[in-house]
Structure 1
């Protein structure tokens, strides 16, 4: 058993660590509130973009936009959104496991996989993975998300160009979904082709007969409008995923730091118990020595 001085030193060390984790918990909580506000602000825009593109495509427009229509899948692409920093529990690894499970199915079917990674954690993970090609990398800073999103657009454009040039036939967007401050879960959606997205949504809408579609009156050339609309739709999906993932990151970090702070309290209590046992043993030994000395006299 350690002596009393060593135990006191350990207690002080754990207390110092506890102060750090407690401060990080407060910082993460503050950043989380800001991230949630940004996430909620962008959601109506994303929902509106979804509704418009759904109605336009459902109107059976005969315009061969490459983003709209399905084709035989020989190669797929993924845009994976992770974090640049750690200390956020199992947020990243749970997402990576979810993506890996889907990638394995494609590789088993001899379908090649290209990946665009957002965040250093995803870059480190997928560069070590055999069988996939990391073709684009982007990073973002939670201190300036708007600038970071513009920088991410360059990496995303690489995947869009590959889809346009038929180098990939389906593009997925993988990120974390914000359920609440204590719950986040991986989410994967088909980003392109848009027709595939609408087919999946149509299956859900068929259960609700009250839902319908309508067309619009176009003041400009319909091809020009549709091209711009498809790009706005993709930008909205990526922006929403990044902002939601940022909220998930701060929520997961806040929870991880809270757990670390609570665990530090448990460790301190155990160390204090060990210290008291050592002190009790020392006192017992001293009393025994005094009694032995008195008996000798």
Structure 2
């Protein structure tokens, strides 16, 4: 019985140590979430305005004119690329499994043939998942900062554009988790390449404000020169915004997971303490019974 009590006592101490760790990790994740939310809120207005401008360009068919005169329209590879944003680390709850599952559903719906698509992985979990299943991972980027910088995104966008221009794939979708609030998130798959009118049909139905821009433009020096500046900014803003959004969801999921782990540890400690007290009480009762029995035996 004494050994059993010691085992329970050891489990209580071990669980308390675990709770201290998960509580500390929750505080760190919450601090990261608060920091990145400040960056995200400031960036959302810029992204919204860039998207509104490019959407109006699409409505004016300027994008289609440029695409029809560019080499991008001559791509005939027939392949689609999916830029999947996951985390590099674990202990983020169901964050990674959700985005991978939803991405797989999206892929199954649009390109069910494995030979027709490839993965561009941002984050180690997504890269490892698809590589372990012999899916074509054409590009991977690991080590995205907790608070991503614009410089990190340039390399990703540059690589994706180069692969598109070289005809490696015809279409590129950005798949990530959109942060709604601290307890809710949704999956998004946004078309990034090619940038034509079709790519903005779904965007126009989302919660993007068009602002007070006119669809008619007076362009100097010409349409091509303007779009050469606007489109790269749009591509970078789309990917950077998606990574910021995904990282926000990651930190939120991590904070929630660690809070849940801490709560579970507290529940386990309560049950173990009850078990410990009962075992200790039983041991004391046994000792008293033995003492009383010994005294009675001495009387005879």
Instruction: Calculate the TM-score normalised by the size of structure 1.
Output: 0.88
Aligned to 2:188: 187
Q: Number of paired residues?
A: 289
Deviation (angstroms), 1:103: 2.1
Aligned to 2:82: 78
For residues 24 and 66 of structure 1, the distance between their equivalents in structure 2, rounded to whole angstroms, comes to 50
Aligned to 1:60: 61
Aligned to 1:222: 223
Q: How does 1:120-159 map to 2 (within 5 A)?
A: 120-130=124-134, 132-143=135-146, 145-146=148-149, 149-159=150-160
Query: Are 1:283 and 2:287 matched, yes or no?
Result: no
For residues 119 and 109 of structure 1, the distance between their equivalents in structure 2, rounded to whole angstroms, comes to 24
Q: Is the 8 A contact 2:220 2:226 kept in 1?
A: no
For residues 65-123 of structure 1, what are the alpha-carbon distances to aligned partners after superposition, in whole Å with 9 as ceiling and x for unaligned? 65986987821001111112211100011000011112233453565111111111111
Q: Is the 8 A contact 1:139 1:152 kept in 2?
A: no
Aligned to 2:27: 26
Instruction: State the secondary structure of the residue aligned to 1:190.
Output: strand
Q: Is the 8 A contact 1:69 1:196 kept in 2?
A: no
Instruction: State the secondary structure of the residue aligned to 2:168.
Output: coil
For residues 136 and 59 of structure 2, the distance between their equivalents in structure 1, rounded to whole angstroms, comes to 34
Query: Are 1:96 and 2:90 matched, yes or no?
Result: no
Query: Residues 212, 52 of structure 1: CA spacing in aligned structure 2 closer, same or farther, 3 A cutoff?
Result: closer
For residues 36 and 71 of structure 2, the distance between their equivalents in structure 1, rounded to whole angstroms, comes to 30
Alignment RMSD (CA, Å): 2.5
Deviation (angstroms), 1:290: 1.6
For residues 189 and 201 of structure 1, the distance between their equivalents in structure 2, rounded to whole angstroms, comes to 8
Query: Residues 65, 138 of structure 1: CA spacing in aligned structure 2 closer, same or farther, 3 A cutoff?
Result: farther
| Aligned match for 1:197, one of 180, 196, 199 | 199
**Structure 1 unaligned spans of 5+:** 206-210
Aligned to 2:209: none
Query: Residues 121, 258 of structure 1: CA spacing in aligned structure 2 closer, same or farther, 3 A cutoff?
Result: same
Query: Residues 34, 67 of structure 1: CA spacing in aligned structure 2 closer, same or farther, 3 A cutoff?
Result: farther
Aligned to 1:208: none
Q: Is the 8 A contact 1:21 1:260 kept in 2?
A: yes
Q: Is the 8 A contact 1:140 1:152 kept in 2?
A: no
Moved more, 7-16 or 109-118: 109-118
Moved more, 193-202 or 275-284: 193-202
Query: Residues 161, 51 of structure 1: CA spacing in aligned structure 2 closer, same or farther, 3 A cutoff?
Result: same
